[in-house]
Structure formats: structure tokens, C-alpha cells
Structure 1
């Protein structure tokens, strides 16, 4: 398991019910492993955003923030959240329509009793962690084609 470097994040994980903690720790580990295996991502910063564990590519600025959390108001599920103004969840819905349950354009929802499709999720995480790299290359192609900058 990847050690915690932020005591505030560790405290949030400790506060989760044991069964949910195990599931969220598996998501956390997948995020760190995907970051290490994905070219251009670099080290992650683990912090809290809105009181939820969040993973940021602060050094390379290659990706979009990923958050994970469980809510007491919905005890049978936990989620992986993405910035809703990106096209990430839309692309996950297109590429993995039968693998996940989606919450609008902001989250992948996991039911506590169901297995997580880890290979598909690793692909989603890698896509999120390189989102800005891909957006930058799209902007460059538009500029090279003669389009004016906005």
C-alpha cells in the first residue's frame, strides 16, 4: 500500500467504515499505480478537496483532479469523482457503457457489494491523469491548422 504523506487524508480514511475503507483504499492504490505507469503524469499530490481525498498532478499539471469518497447519506455506494466541466465521464460512458454506473457527468458510482472492473477503471484513471496533455495537443492541432486563438 502507498503510504500516506498527508495526515488529514489518512484521518479521513480512518473515519470510513471498515468495509468501505477497504474499497476506497483499493481505488486509492489504483490511482497511484496508474499514475506511476502512465507516461507524463509524474508524482501525485494527495490532498483533501471539499473534505474528500483528492489526487492532483501538481508537478506536471498533466491531468484533471480525481476525488474518491463515501457518503453516510448513501451508505450502499461510494464514488470516484471527476471535474464535471471536462468530457471525462462522457468518454467513460462511451468506452465502458456496461462496466460502470454513472452520476451525470461527474462520477463513477460503485455499489458496495459489486466487484469493481479494475482494468476498465485503470484506463479511466490514466485518461483523467493525462486529460490536460490531450487537451493541449488538441489546441495545438487547431492552431497549426490555421485557426486563430480564442
Structure 2
């Protein structure tokens, strides 16, 4: 699976412990799957922002940027980040306060030891990648 990850993304995760890198690769795959399952999102542009893998809806402008990386230089935590000036994390908290962990108004945090709650996280990713579609209504 590592060979399908773009070199800039791999470079961003170079030196991370293998369990953390595996979780980040799985989260990246989920972001791509969510985008691929929703034609409104369109193709994602994968790039680095602030040295972190980021996914943009450049072709459609449908959503806000999603970034993924370890959380606060902690090898036991990783996260996906959204723009802090959106209301996304507040909406995530309303829906998943009992299932997900949050950092302020910018991140959903996961523990390397835990299974990723796929349904909840997929919905959160979809909400971010379609954020501008709802905001314009």
C-alpha cells in the first residue's frame, strides 16, 4: 500500500513509527474513498500544506481542505484537520460527541491503539469535502 502513496506524502511521514504511519495511510485511503463515492466532490488534489498531507477540492470548490497527520507531535495520536474558521468541528461534536475526540475547532483526534470509527469519520470527511455546497444554500 505504501507504494501507492505519493512521494511528498510519504516524505511528510518519514520517520514516524510504523503503527502511526499505517493509521495515517488508512485515513488517507478513507479520504480518497469518500471523495470517490461522491461525484459532487470531484477529484481531489493531494498536496502538502504546512508540511502535512492535504486534500483540496480544487476542481469543484465543493469543500474545505482536509489535512491529516500525527497530532501535536505525539506518536500515539493522529488527526484530520479542517479549517478553524468553519463550523465543522462544532457540527461533528453535535453528531459524534460520544464517539470521537476533538481538538478545539480544528481537529478530530484518534488514538493509534483504537479502531477507526469508519462510519462517523467518513461522514465527517464528507461534510468537510462538501462544506461549500451546503454553505452556499
Q: TM-score by structure 2 length?
A: 0.92
Larger Cα Rg: Structure 1 or Structure 2? 1
Conserved? CA contact 2:89–2:107, under 8 Å: yes
Structure-1 residue corresponding to 2:28: 28
Give the equivalent residue in structure 2 for 1:120.
120
Q: Could you say which residue in structure 2 is the equivalent of 1:66?
A: 66
The answer to whether the 8 Å contact 2:64/2:132 transfers is yes
For these two proteins, the number of residue pairs brought into alignment is: 136
Q: Partners in 1 of 2:35 and 2:87 — Cα distance?
A: 20
For residue 87 of structure 1, what is the aligned residue in structure 2? 87
Per-residue CA deviations over 1:67-94 (Å, capped at 9, x if unaligned) read 0111573222111111010011100000
Partners of 1:40 and 1:135 lie apart in 2 by: 14
Matched with 1:37 is 37
Q: Shift in Å at residue 32 of structure 1?
A: 0.3
Query: Larger % of strand: which?
Result: 2
For the residues of structure 2 that align with 1:3 and 1:81, how far apart are their CA atoms?
22
Q: 1:108-147, aligned counterparts within 5 Å? A: 108-137=108-137
SS at 2:110's partner residue? strand
* Counterparts of 1:132 and 1:48, CA distance in 2: 21
Q: Which residue of structure 2 aligns with residue 144 of structure 1?
A: none
After TM superposition, the score normalised by the length of structure 1 is 0.85
CA offset digits 1:104-142 (Å, max 9, x no partner): 1100011111111011100000110000011111xxxxx
2:71–2:109: 8 Å Cα contact kept in structure 1? no
Give unmatched runs, 5+ long, in structure 2: none
